[in-house]
Chain A
Amino acid sequence: MINLIPCRLGLLIAGSFALIAAGSSSAFAQAGFSPLDKSNPAASKQDTNLKPHATPPMAAPADKLPVDKLKLPAGFKAEVWSSGHPGARTMVEGPKGTIFMGTRQLGRVYAITNKDGKREVKVLLQGLTQPNGLAVKDGALYVLAINKVFRFDNIEDNLDKPGTGVELTDKFNLPDTVHHNWKYADFGPDGKLYIQVGANCNICEINNGIHGQIRRYNPDGSGMEIVARGVRNTVGFDWHPVTKELWFTDNGRDWAGNGGPEDELNVVAKGKEGSFFGFPYCHANGVPDPDVKIPNPCAGVTLPAVTTGPHSAGLGIRFYTGNMFPKSYQNVAFIARRGSWNREQKFGYDVIVARTSGGKAKLEPFLSGFLDEKGNAFSGRPVYVHQMKDGSLLVSDEQNGAIYRITYQAKSAGKTASR
């Protein structure tokens, strides 16, 4: 079988990267879902045939994208910014304007550049296990794929030849459990790399020393600290531009009813690093878990700033600091909700606004139209949001492998939008 190895090398954009990909195969068995999981669909009174929606491994053609269905407040407009990159999820921007995009099942990282007013999409890396975690610092791209961590220095000068990067996996020492551990990562205002380590089950007792956390590290993987505990699965966080507090979305458990427990938007208050956010005992606004029972399940639990809807799957969050949108949007958070699977009547599939104040938040709709409520069907799944330098907002659509750009223009001079 040795003759096959050159084929595998040929498969990959960066040839030597195959060595890394090969290392993730059977030699290092990766655990999936925790066997301690206590999900009880029969007791949930839900349709027990609900199952996660498939993510298409191929992108929708540009002329089939649902951009015409999208609804926004007055003065806002959505257009297709790029397409043809299946599995479109996380977006981070390099100093020279390259958008790097992570995926889950497809194992790719894309680099999207501007050329003559059009987008050029390159498959930068391939064959990784769920490389959802991307972060940029000092011109380097950090790629996190479950427990693997790589740094690609001066990446924007090497888009055609990214090489193997500097592997930091051993330094970060993240668990190799896969479930809920496609990473979200970002550098905080303190220069540290914040990384989520999700619960490796739907609902179970977890090892609090390992799972259900947000951690922070020095960029080289040293100095690990636990920032938040009892977090089921956050796949998006950001820091408030003024207070510098960490806000994170968190996805509620499944198989406890169509009505929830609802997803959460949480905040780690100043000086409260290490707070406990309730998983697996206490969900949403103080809902005791029906399957993992302890006395006083919500004692000592930091409750959310606001709940964000049942099974809505709030993922990416970004506080807006740009100059394009009306002043009323300054410092508000945009949250992409990927939409429900464990709910008979589908819910979410939109981008909402969270107006935060004093550790609480109020929600309002922003981008909708992907969900056909009457038909109980969806045409797109918004997953992450990214603010461009010009103040426009990118929204990635994992279902269709596309990015939409949202711009604002006041209707007439002297008249600003009411919201």
Chain B
Amino acid sequence: MGLVRKYWRPPVLGLAVALLSGEAFAQGTPLAERIQACNACHGEDGNSKMENIPSLAGQPEFFILNQLVLMRENVRQVEAMVPFVKDLKDDDIRALAAHFAKLEPKASAEPVDPALVKRGEEIASAKRCVSCHAANLGGQEQIPRVAKQRIDYLTKSLKEFGDGTRQGADTNMSVPVAGLSDADLAALAHYAASR
């Protein structure tokens, strides 16, 4: 850990400077350096400790690859990600996807409400979440892992699918969230995070 810490600091400083200038990386940045930049927000082991920032550990490889391409292409518009994705080559994206897919997903430290988990399980069953997100909610191919994802990020994403500010790579997520209250969405988030 000590070594990681030591090696850790300069890139973070570099990152701050990069953000100010709007340039995160020169082309040809080594993979390790790119991964460290990801880790600054998404967590050192790919499990995020930052509010509203998703964990990437154990996401399906194709899902990460697909989302990085869509962000690079300006189709999925996440402003904070732009400096990091804008000059990514296909090979960089393949390597990043392979890296994060291999990491072990861990639940965040957010408190889980058992009553919400129970309610969320009922809703998830009715909405057939497992048919796409897989039986263990670990995701598959283009569909993300939601198990052990951060509760705040899941809640935020579900709301965005509900109000149309986010569509996903296709429009499928707008169906299950239609008609659900904020409380229902929070229950789904607690349930998925607890799996």
Contact = CB atoms under 8 A, between A and B. Distances in A.
A107 interface: yes
A57 B174 contact: no
Contact of B83 (A4, A26, A35): A4
B29 interface: no
A30 B164 contact: yes
From A25, A29, A33, A52, name the one whose CB has the most chain B CB atoms within 10 angstroms: A33
Contact of A179 (B86, B93, B171): B171
B75 A129 contact: yes
A contacts with B: majority SS:
loop
Given A54-B141, A58-B90, A32 B164 contact: yes
Contacts of B75: 105-107, 127-129
Interface stretch (A5-13, A148-156, A264-272, A290-298): A5-13
B26 interface: no
A41 B128 contact: yes
6 contacts: A3-B21, A11-B74, A29-B164, A33-B174, A57-B66, A126-B74
A43 interface: no
Nearest to B140: A51
Contacts of B130: 49
A21 interface: yes
B169 A51 contact: no
B165 A7 contact: no
A108 B66 CA distance: 15
Contacts of B77: 21-22, 25
Interface in A49-80: 49-52, 54, 57-58
B69 A11 contact: no
**Range of interface residues on A (Cβ < 8 Å):** 35 or more
B65 interface: yes
Interface string A114-141: 0000000000001111000000000000
B178 interface: yes
B108 interface: no
A31 B82 contact: no
A303 to B, nearest CB: 29
Interface in A368-413: none
Given A4-B79, A29-B164, 15 more contacts: A3-B20, A3-B21, A4-B82, A25-B77, A26-B165, A30-B167, A35-B174, A35-B175, A39-B175, A51-B131, A57-B66, A57-B70, A58-B93, A58-B94, A127-B74
Contacts of B80: 1
A58 B69 contact: yes
A113 B73 CA distance: 22
Given A33-B175, A41-B128, A126-B73, A105 B167 contact: no
B41 to A, nearest CB: 15
A197 interface: no
Nearest to A127: B74
A255 to B, nearest CB: 11
B126 to A, nearest CB: 11
Contact of B170 (A10, A31, A48, A105): A105
